[in-house]
Structure 1
Amino acid sequence: MIQILEFAVVVIAISASGVMAPGPLFAANVSYGLRDGAKSGIKMAVGHAIVEFPLIVLLGIGVFSLETFPEFRILISILGAITLFVFAILQIKTVLQNKKNHTTKPKQGALISGIIFSALNPFFIIWWLTIGFKLISDAMLIWAFSGIIVVFLLHIWMDFVWLGGVSFLASKSTQILSNRNYKALMIGLSLILIYFGITFLVDIIS
């Protein structure tokens, strides 16, 4: 019991660096939260988990690694950048074309966006290939293959709390935002997504 509690503290402390790090998933989550509240954050977290659990399993059984797929990082970075650019441009276009943006719905749902922005985020993948892989390895030394489930459960609840909490707070901000300020915020979030898309490309060039 003491062993799992000690390991839980380690996983939670280290996972915070990945869960709460600003990134495209965070920016998109705020965008959805402004319109749909905490439920959009939960959907985003479910989409994130759909990508995260198989990734953890593949790392745990040794099927996936950068050595196995050396070009994977480049491919994910390019696809991720393109996705961010398209999403941001469509969001800006939607904001500028609609007068009542507080009720404007994006074309794809929060769950799908959670999947896309997780699967096509090279920094998320690399975090699990490096920092996350160490946690998985340590867990498997203690609990064998059950360690994969232990790491996932100790980590995933933080995603739900963080994404759900952020989207809830974002929805509350609409009560004090004027339509003009709302548009400015949405455009700002879109520009942040474009920025992350650029960083994806710069990372593979450098």
Structure 2
Amino acid sequence: MISIIEIIKAFFLGITVAISAALIPGPMMFATIGISLKKGCRAGESVFIGHALVELTIFLLILVGVSSSISETMMLYLTIIGGLMMVLLGVMLIKSAKEVSTMDILASESRLNLSFNPIYAGILTSALNPYFVIWWLAAGTAIILHEYMISIFAVVAFIVGHWIADLGFIVAVSSSSSKGKELISQSTYKNMLYFCGGLLMIFGLWFLINYNNFSAMV
């Protein structure tokens, strides 16, 4: 029977991955800001729905298309690649924290003119973002399959944690943008980058250290 510790670990891994990715300004963040300035704070929820639909499709493709034919060798490679990707993202987050001079995301709002459906914005800025796709094809696949080998409940816990963090961050950006206020202070933003970067590196190293155990689960 699956341990409650595994469920909790999967849940917090989902939160960590989501926040770590969200903290790096990208197409979806700026789309959320632009649309929220026009449509109000509720636009963020719609952007999240579009984003979640893309991720749900990827999750199902990973589980249905890959898990049925996964081999021990393939799981071994995926685990190593996934661990390296997580460590790399963690290093990038910490490097970004050192370079932060301001957290005035709204300074970019003058360059945005987005008036289309927020759900479409969430879909397009996710599906057409190469970094997003590459992440899920590498590290994301390793994580999902690892949790799947433990239990489908671990997969659900990871996805729930991931979406809770995604929704919370997108709504925060949307609400802040619609009111024309700064999202978070510079020091808070830097601390979040350091924390998530360090935590993601720990998860990545843990994957690398235990890669033999994960591959043996197939």
How far does residue 16 in structure 1 lie from its aligned partner after superposition?
A: 2.0
1:115 paired residue number? 123
| 2:27 corresponds to 1:19 | no
Q: Residue deviations 1:182-205, cap 9 Å, x none?
A: xxxxxxxxxxxxxxxxxxxxxxxx
In the superposition, the TM-score normalised over structure 1's length comes to: 0.59
CA–CA separation in structure 1 for the residues paired with 2:53 and 2:10: 24
Q: Residue deviations 1:138-163, cap 9 Å, x none?
A: 211110x4444333222111111111
Checking the alignment, whether the CA contact within 8 Å between 1:30 and 1:170 is kept in structure 2 is yes
1:35 paired residue number? 38
Checking the alignment, whether the CA contact within 8 Å between 1:11 and 1:135 is kept in structure 2 is no
Q: Percent of aligned pairs with the same residue?
A: 29
CA–CA separation in structure 2 for the residues paired with 1:47 and 1:127: 18
| 2:166 corresponds to 1:159 | yes
Match of 1:125 among 116, 133, 141: 133
| 2:156 corresponds to 1:149 | yes
2:63 paired residue number? 60
Q: 1:165 to 1:49 in 2, by over 3 A?
A: same
Return 11-20 or 150-159, whichever deviates more: 11-20
Return 113-122 or 6-15, whichever deviates more: 6-15
CA–CA separation in structure 2 for the residues paired with 1:109 and 1:11: 27
The two structures, once aligned, show a CA RMSD in angstroms of: 2.5
CA–CA separation in structure 2 for the residues paired with 1:7 and 1:114: 25
How far does residue 109 in structure 1 lie from its aligned partner after superposition?
A: 0.9
**Runs of 4+ with >4 A deviation:** none
Checking the alignment, whether the CA contact within 8 Å between 2:126 and 2:132 is kept in structure 1 is yes
CA–CA separation in structure 2 for the residues paired with 1:159 and 1:109: 19
The amino acid of 1:21's aligned partner reads: I
| Structure 1 unpaired stretches of 5+ | 65-90, 96-104, 175-206
CA–CA separation in structure 1 for the residues paired with 2:43 and 2:153: 31
1:76 paired residue number? none
How do residues 50-129 of structure 1 correspond to structure 2 at under 5 angstroms? 50-63=53-66, 106=115, 108-129=116-137
1:171 paired residue number? 178
In the superposition, the TM-score normalised over structure 2's length comes to: 0.56
The amino acid of 2:39's aligned partner reads: D
Q: Residue deviations 1:37-59, cap 9 Å, x none?
A: 22101000001111110111111
Q: Residue deviations 1:101-159, cap 9 Å, x none?
A: xxxx71x211111111111111111111122122102211110x444433322211111
Aligned length: 137
How far does residue 31 in structure 1 lie from its aligned partner after superposition?
A: 0.4
CA–CA separation in structure 2 for the residues paired with 1:137 and 1:16: 21
